[in-house]
Amino acid sequence: MRLIFIRHAEPDYEHDSVTAKGEREARLLAERLAREKVDGVYISPLGRAQRTAQAYLKKVNGQGETCDWLQEFAARVRHPGSENLRRIWDFLPSVVEKYPLLYSANDWLNVPFIRESEVPAAYARVCGELDALLEKHGYRRRGMFYEAFAPNTQTLVFFCHLGITGVLLSHLFGQSPVAILQSFAGVPTCVTEVVTEEREEGTASFRARWIGDISHLYKEGEPPSFYSSGYCEVFADDTMRH
Q: What is the pLDDT of residues 83-120, one digit of tens each?
A: 889 899 888 899 999 999 999 999 999 999 999 999 99
- pLDDT at 79 (0 to 100): 86
Domains detected in the chain: 2-41+52-195+204-228 (3.40.50.1240)
What phi-psi label fits residue 88: left (phi over 0), alpha (psi between -120 and 50 degrees) or beta? alpha
Strands 155-160, 2-7: parallel, antiparallel or unpaired by DSSP? parallel
Report the mean per-residue pLDDT for the chain.
94
CA angle 53, 55, 56 (to 5 degrees): 70
pLDDT grade, residue 229 (50/70/90)? Answer: low
The residue-averaged pLDDT of 161-180 equals 97
- pLDDT at 242 (0 to 100): 63
- pLDDT at 175 (0 to 100): 97
- pLDDT at 82 (0 to 100): 83
pLDDT grade, residue 202 (50/70/90)? Answer: very high
Stretch (H or E) spanning 21: helix 20-33
Stretch (H or E) spanning 155: strand 155-160
The DSSP bridge partners found for residue 148 are 139
Rounded Cα distance between 30 and 38, Å, is 12
- pLDDT at 90 (0 to 100): 82
- How far are the Cα atoms of 19, 186, 197 from residue 13, in angstroms, in the given order? 9, 17, 38
- pLDDT at 238 (0 to 100): 74
- pLDDT at 235 (0 to 100): 83
- Its pTM surpasses 0.75: yes
